[in-house]
Structure 1
Amino acid sequence: MMKPEFRAMDSSILSGNPGADKAALLLPPFDTCSPAELLAHFRQRAVDNYFPLKPGKAKHVASAAPILDNEFTLNNETHRLGNGFDWLHNPSADLEWLILLHKFYYARDLALAYDYSGDEGYADNWVALVGSWIKQVPDGFVNSQVTGRRLQQWLLAYHYFVPGRDCQAINAEFLLAFLHSIQSQALFLSRNLTPEGNHRTIELSAIFTVAILFPELSASAELLTFAQSELLANLRQDFLADGVQKELSTDYHHTVLKNFLRVRELADLNGVNLPEPFDAVIEKALEFSIYAHKPDGWLPAINDGDVNSYLSLLGKAERYYPSDALRYVLSQGKQGQPPTQRSRLFADSGYCILRSDWAERPYADGRYLFFDCGDLGFGSHGHYDLLSFEMAAFGRSLIVDPGRYTYHEHPSDDVNWRHAFKGTAAHNTVMIDGKDQMAYQCHEPVGPQPHAAVIRFESNQGFDFVHGRALSPRYEVDHQRSIFYAENEYWIISDLLSGCTSHRYQQFFHLPPPWSAPIQSLNNRQGQGVCLPNLLVAQAPRAEVAMRIESGWFSPEYGVKHAAPVLCFSQEGDGTRWFQTVLYPYRDDAPDIRIDSLPVSQSQHLATPMQAMALSITLKTADTVYRDCFFVSHLNETTEYRFADIVCRAKLLFVRRNLLGEIVSLQADAIESLKIAGRTLVDSIDKPVTLNYRPSPTTPTPSAVCERAA
């Protein structure tokens, strides 16, 4: 083990430091205690006012072993530092590595290894690292949020080494230096808070923790008052009205939520009251988390972040914010009650989750699609991914957001990887003229930004439909994307691209690695697309649209990337261009599929895609044959359209028929009239309604259903 160096430099840490004076550091009567008495006091203090400590395990001993030799693996990059190393020197080209070194996450492994083994060497090492950091590093080094993170990790380790322990590595001189440093750092934070965002939340949480756990410190009362006041204001500022954290990152949403939950738990343990609005905002943030988690328990990495699961965090939240919906998700449908809405739009963020029934069994097999119809979000974590999505079914992600990979902009292999993962081409949307949706910036956006908005959202027992629009300052094209979730079974994505001049359009679908079988192209009869394990991606064949498989990347965690295929449909031209794509997930055997475009006429003239589009989708399995017809209008006013054997006035129509031509299901939105094969089914002129119809012995005709709804 590395020999600790702290004992040899106790006096040098404290000398010349006026804050080390106990009278300035501690309140009466502690300011008059001898160092030995202070050490005894903090060792004998109760620990029931801190989070429950988990016991150490053998794995923590293994994780701590390299740290004893000053070998640190951070962000999947390893560097071995010498004894007495310089804390201000970065051995990595990536600043994030140095930032993590100063955050001290590895202190947890040392503490838990000590708890498991009782070996004083782990405590010696922690003392040596903390002591040398105190000696070398000024408050606020790098930025304030690093200070906040470090305080959280130092206090976690402290509770394994000091209260209720007789750890010989901790002497009175070190304890005084430690107490002085945490007070100094907390005071620095209170005077240098990040203006807003997840960093500010972390910093305030750290201040609150120091103040509430160490009432003996002279500044604790002041710090606690400050933190309580600022935390509520920050909570209201940090979350949008729909409960989504304003940086619009699924990962950072939960980082912020975790820190506020830490405040809630510490307040509860220490008898500190928090204002009622605090809980109301947290409950809304938890609602988003319930919907954002995929049925397999993982989160999509929307904007900056890794592929994570925060179900354990929700488990902690359930203690303070119990709900049937939270219990249902945590138990995978075995307890509680499902959320009242199957699919959900979070209107302020522009995030929309379309999913199958919560009663799906097995629970993990549910179908799920996360649609990003929001702006870039506050700060620097937004990707150029307007109208992108992630999709999962049958326990696995089938179309993925590739993640973030790095914050470091220095090119490697002649590639700026920050740009490569942040750019539009790295997302499941349409790229225009090879341009990102905004001019690339490594950090916060500068200059004009793209804008996205939800135009319409409809969700009911029969279908889900969302229609969004994105505009970019980099080109004159208006991109509209609608997603229809049909029969609790599959999705139809319609992309409408309107421009005056000629443009090149590339539509991307990022696939996760590794595939267990080769990607197979559909034959000409079926359409244009591919058959993948558990997923069919298909479009009606069109001569102007080319398809190819490109090489891409997928990053499940920072610093790690895996080669992954990307399906790309492309076309170019002027005027209005479009893509219509069927995403059909399947469990075992892929159905035989056929996709055809249907010409749509309006007032005896062929309708343009700007007016309306229709598809015929034939699905054949071992047991059934369905012929589905899908129609969507893009005009605000309602007019009469004709396609196949259908005449309708509607914004949206889906008809499923069996092999005998019988209607199995009929779904419509804003429908006024409908004829199929010459038979009038709906006649509700000037009274548009939403229609969900599935025949059964007790179900009335579609027209009766429509009249009742009107």
Structure 2
Amino acid sequence: MRLKFIVITIFIVSTTSIFAQQEWKHVLSINDLYEHYPEVIEKMFFNFNLDYPGLEKVKVEYEKNNVVAACQNLLEYYKNGNTASYLRIKQPITTNQRESLADSILQNIFIIQGVKGQVPVKENGHRNWNYRGSNNDVEWAWLSNRHPQIDSLFLAYKRTGNPDYAQYIDLFLRDFIIASMPYPAKASSTEIWRGLEVSFRAKVWPKIFYGLINSNYLSPATQLLILSSLPDHAHYNKNFHKKTGNWLSMEISGLATVAATFPEFKKSKEWLAYSITTMVNSMKAQVYPDGVQKELTSHYHNVTLESFEELKNICERSEMPLPEYYNKTLEQMYGYSAHTMRPDGSGPLNNDSDRNNIRGLILKGAKTFNRDDWKFIATNGFSGMKPKEQPSYFYPWAGHFVSRSGFESSAHWSFFDMGPWGIGHEHSDKLHLSISAYGRDLLVDAGRFAYSGKLYKKFRNYAIGSAGHNLLLIDDKGQKPGPASVKFPIDNNKVRIEEKFDYATSNFNSFNVEGTVDHNRTLLYVRGEFWIVVDRINTSKPRKISALWHWHPSCIISADAVITKTNNKQGNLLIKPITNQSFQLNLVKGQENPVQGWYSSEYNKVEASTTSIYSTYINQDDTIAWILVPGKQTIPNLKAKVLSKNKENIKIKVTSSNKTWILNIPFYDSSGVKVIVK
């Protein structure tokens, strides 16, 4: 009997303890919050300007020490006011409609960068906000704590009117804010308090607050918790933001969002003024005069662009002027995205990038800046006005050279990297060449793989090194890092864009090898026909040269002697050396050690792909020339022959069944380039 009593007692104590631990779930009303977390309320009022128009009743009750009544008046102010009117919505009609992705979120199953994970719930009822996903990747935790899941769930609620989705958001936010207390008020890289995550939450929460303020689903306690925590988010982004790069732009756009959507905070004017000054100075520091963000990755270029545009929109709504430079640079940044877009609508996969579709981004920029030429590019010519210039583009500060045959979806497209390393997310890939044609990626950059976790350990060195790019390895070694940025643009004599051809040349001379070596690569694109690539190697000693050509995983590859080609139903390419070196050709796919023959179209995604490796030995300075021939189905039968070469240029004859091209290709400047068609 005594044993039974002990067991019952333990059960009751345990149950009571668990209930007490989970008591935060039952904090729903103003009274509940003030009873259990009075310090939250006091801190919240400390951050409010109670002299702000409309808060008179709040101030009266607060000064009487009627804190609960002051809170009631504050929430009534927001419920009935017009602050951030663009975020307020008409509540949807209540239904039982469901969406599968939203329903999985209700089970705490989140998909972050393509990786699914179910966030565990601790004994105290709080989700484990430090959970790193199924790959134990801290990036997963960081991105999850930006709260994209409730952003998605809010959209699902607007579409369906299902209260389950809004109620989950309420509990989710109450859980997170209470679990994240106290605010550390110092720079951090933890899963919860890191600058990027802080800035993203600062942009998601106002949408939730104003979008649900007139619903029955965002509890008064959660509303007050949001109002108490957002000043902490603003404080973090103002005081602990990065000093440059895309991080700075994202963090400051978060600060500006809080300032503009909650002007009732004491420091909102100060925060917005600081945001404008900092963002303008940041734009000058991290964007080249040609409009390219200095990390030189299309992905983070567009991330930064969108952060800059967020501030522009905030300032327009707040009637705060921005300097003309700001709008002009923003237009240039959109122009870069439009001009470098592949025919299928994605951006280049350069440095740390994903193969993102950017048509929508470009169309948004076309509308903002009234650019029908960008609209034409983004729609493959179905709308807008055809650009007056040739279809190829060169960005002299970034060193990015894009060749095209046209703007249609089947057009030839190539991306030649002639520029510096980049100030962040860099790859050692100067002189890399990517090619797409007839709606298919053919030659590719290997991608970025991951920033932490298992994939990082296995593939990161490959991703950022020369081995993951279409380059030359010298004695099996790649390029050294740098330089990160440049103070001057590339000379005009390094590039020519003509009606019939494009020409570009650049070099790199810092390799992880003994002695000295300079690799100069010259690209000649005969528009609508073929590419010629000329690699000039100047060396102080004999070398092993390995030329790497990485194919997209979808390509069916075959090799015959020293010719590599694809055998796809549509969209093909042939690569053939046309100088007289003796090459050993190996096709490598999915190799583990050393890592070779892999491709990552987006973060956390990996596929085996074929790399053609052409190896040869040179005893002294030498020139290697290649012809790259695209074909829609059948690859044209072109014959290429070297007519002459010296240390300054090469002359090549290319023939088809009905044409002959005589090509004079100088190595170091464009003045002597000639393309004669017979």
TM-based fold match above 0.5: yes
Deviations 1:479-512 (A, max 9, x none): 0001011143211110111111122211111111
Residues 481-496 of structure 1 mapped to structure 2, 5 A cutoff: 481-496=521-536
What is the CA-CA distance between 1:531 and the residue it aligns to? 4.4
* Secondary structure of the corresponding residue to residue 434 of structure 2: strand
Q: In structure 1, how many angstroms separate the alpha carbons of the residues matched to 2:477 and 2:47?
A: 59
Q: In structure 1, how many angstroms separate the alpha carbons of the residues matched to 2:156 and 2:547?
A: 50
Determine which of 538, 550, 569 is the counterpart of 2:614: 569
1:633 aligns with 2:666: yes
What is the CA-CA distance between 1:87 and the residue it aligns to? 1.9
1:616 aligns with 2:616: no
Aligned to 1:676: none
Q: In structure 2, how many angstroms separate the alpha carbons of the residues matched to 1:399 and 1:446?
A: 25
1:150 aligned partner, one-letter code: R
Compared CA separation, residues 594 and 117, structure 1 to 2 (3 A): same
What is the CA-CA distance between 1:409 and the residue it aligns to? 6.1
Q: In structure 1, how many angstroms separate the alpha carbons of the residues matched to 2:207 and 2:329?
A: 27
Determine which of 1, 4, 7 is the counterpart of 2:26: 7
Determine which of 559, 565, 590 is the counterpart of 2:635: 590
* Secondary structure of the corresponding residue to residue 176 of structure 1: helix
1:158 aligned partner, one-letter code: F
2:659 aligned partner, one-letter code: Y
Contact 1:61/1:113, CA 8 A, preserved across alignment: yes
What is the CA-CA distance between 1:619 and the residue it aligns to? 2.1
Residues 29-108 of structure 1 mapped to structure 2, 5 A cutoff: 29-30=54-55, 31-32=58-59, 34-46=70-82, 49-50=85-86, 61-83=99-121, 84-90=126-132, 92-108=135-151
Aligned to 2:208: 157
Determine which of 551, 559, 565 is the counterpart of 1:530: 565
What is the CA-CA distance between 1:543 and the residue it aligns to? 5.1
Q: In structure 1, how many angstroms separate the alpha carbons of the residues matched to 2:235 and 2:201?
A: 14
Compared CA separation, residues 224 and 541, structure 1 to 2 (3 A): closer
Aligned to 1:272: 320
Deviations 1:255-302 (A, max 9, x none): 011111122223223433222111111111112111111122111211
1:459 aligns with 2:492: no
Q: In structure 2, how many angstroms separate the alpha carbons of the residues matched to 1:224 and 1:240?
A: 25
Aligned to 2:675: 654
Compared CA separation, residues 351 and 4, structure 1 to 2 (3 A): farther
Aligned to 1:645: none
Compared CA separation, residues 278 and 556, structure 1 to 2 (3 A): same
Aligned to 1:644: none
**Structure with greater strand share of residues:** 1
Compared CA separation, residues 446 and 543, structure 1 to 2 (3 A): closer
Determine which of 399, 404, 408 is the counterpart of 2:443: 399
Is the deviation greater in 150-159 or in 460-469?
150-159
Gaps of 5+ in 2: 1-21, 62-69, 590-596
Normalising by structure 1, what TM-score?
Answer: 0.80
Compared CA separation, residues 40 and 382, structure 1 to 2 (3 A): same
Q: In structure 2, how many angstroms separate the alpha carbons of the residues matched to 1:54 and 1:106?
A: 22
Compared CA separation, residues 238 and 446, structure 1 to 2 (3 A): closer
Is the deviation greater in 424-433 or in 312-321?
312-321
1:578 aligned partner, one-letter code: T
Deviations 1:648-695 (A, max 9, x none): xx8223333xxxxxx3xxxxxxxxxxxxxxxxxxxxxxxxxxxxxxxx
Q: In structure 2, how many angstroms separate the alpha carbons of the residues matched to 1:448 and 1:227?
A: 25
2:433 aligned partner, one-letter code: F
Contact 1:300/1:400, CA 8 A, preserved across alignment: no
What is the CA-CA distance between 1:66 and the residue it aligns to? 2.0
Compared CA separation, residues 12 and 290, structure 1 to 2 (3 A): farther
What is the CA-CA distance between 1:558 and the residue it aligns to? 0.8
Contact 2:475/2:543, CA 8 A, preserved across alignment: yes
Q: In structure 2, how many angstroms separate the alpha carbons of the residues matched to 1:427 and 1:492?
A: 18
1:135 aligned partner, one-letter code: I
What RMSD in Å do the two structures reach over aligned CA positions? Answer: 3.0
Residues 338-487 of structure 1 mapped to structure 2, 5 A cutoff: 338-358=387-407, 363-379=408-424, 381-408=425-452, 416-438=458-480, 456-475=494-513, 476-487=516-527
1:22 aligned partner, one-letter code: F
What is the CA-CA distance between 1:468 and the residue it aligns to? 0.7
What is the CA-CA distance between 1:90 and the residue it aligns to? 3.6
Compared CA separation, residues 619 and 89, structure 1 to 2 (3 A): same
Contact 1:13/1:177, CA 8 A, preserved across alignment: no
* Secondary structure of the corresponding residue to residue 273 of structure 1: coil
Q: Percent identity?
A: 22
Aligned to 2:12: none
* Secondary structure of the corresponding residue to residue 416 of structure 1: helix
What is the CA-CA distance between 1:141 and the residue it aligns to? 4.5
What is the CA-CA distance between 1:326 and the residue it aligns to? 1.9
Q: In structure 1, how many angstroms separate the alpha carbons of the residues matched to 2:544 and 2:356?
A: 35
Compared CA separation, residues 190 and 543, structure 1 to 2 (3 A): closer
Deviations 1:210-231 (A, max 9, x none): 1111111222111111112212
Q: In structure 1, how many angstroms separate the alpha carbons of the residues matched to 2:415 and 2:162?
A: 48
Q: In structure 2, how many angstroms separate the alpha carbons of the residues matched to 1:60 and 1:383?
A: 44
2:467 aligned partner, one-letter code: A
Is the deviation greater in 248-257 or in 185-194?
185-194
Residues 663-674 of structure 1 mapped to structure 2, 5 A cutoff: 663=678
Is the deviation greater in 54-63 or in 168-177?
54-63
Contact 1:4/1:127, CA 8 A, preserved across alignment: no
Residues 547-558 of structure 1 mapped to structure 2, 5 A cutoff: 547-551=585-589, 552-558=597-603
Aligned length: 610
Q: In structure 1, how many angstroms separate the alpha carbons of the residues matched to 2:624 and 2:106?
A: 57
* Secondary structure of the corresponding residue to residue 252 of structure 2: helix
Q: In structure 1, how many angstroms separate the alpha carbons of the residues matched to 2:664 and 2:479?
A: 29
Gaps of 5+ in 1: 440-444, 601-606, 639-649, 657-662, 664-710
1:194 aligns with 2:194: no
What is the CA-CA distance between 1:590 and the residue it aligns to? 1.8
Q: In structure 2, how many angstroms separate the alpha carbons of the residues matched to 1:52 and 1:369?
A: 45
Compared CA separation, residues 352 and 447, structure 1 to 2 (3 A): closer
What is the CA-CA distance between 1:453 and the residue it aligns to? 6.0
Q: In structure 1, how many angstroms separate the alpha carbons of the residues matched to 2:398 and 2:332?
A: 13
Determine which of 88, 109, 119 is the counterpart of 2:162: 119
Q: In structure 2, how many angstroms separate the alpha carbons of the residues matched to 1:50 and 1:472?
A: 53
Whose RCO is larger (CA < 8 A, sep 6+)? 2
* Secondary structure of the corresponding residue to residue 352 of structure 1: strand
Determine which of 14, 18, 22 is the counterpart of 2:45: 22
1:369 aligned partner, one-letter code: S
Compared CA separation, residues 71 and 460, structure 1 to 2 (3 A): same
What is the CA-CA distance between 1:12 and the residue it aligns to? 7.5
What is the CA-CA distance between 1:52 and the residue it aligns to? 9.2
1:346 aligned partner, one-letter code: Y
1:335 aligns with 2:384: yes
* Secondary structure of the corresponding residue to residue 201 of structure 1: helix
Contact 2:414/2:434, CA 8 A, preserved across alignment: yes
**Structure with greater helix share of residues:** 2
Contact 2:433/2:470, CA 8 A, preserved across alignment: yes
Aligned to 2:593: none
Compared CA separation, residues 124 and 561, structure 1 to 2 (3 A): same
Q: In structure 2, how many angstroms separate the alpha carbons of the residues matched to 1:116 and 1:340?
A: 44
Compared CA separation, residues 250 and 58, structure 1 to 2 (3 A): farther
Is the deviation greater in 92-101 or in 381-390?
92-101
Q: In structure 2, how many angstroms separate the alpha carbons of the residues matched to 1:245 and 1:230?
A: 16
* Secondary structure of the corresponding residue to residue 556 of structure 1: coil
Determine which of 305, 308, 312 is the counterpart of 1:257: 305
Q: In structure 2, how many angstroms separate the alpha carbons of the residues matched to 1:284 and 1:4?
A: 53
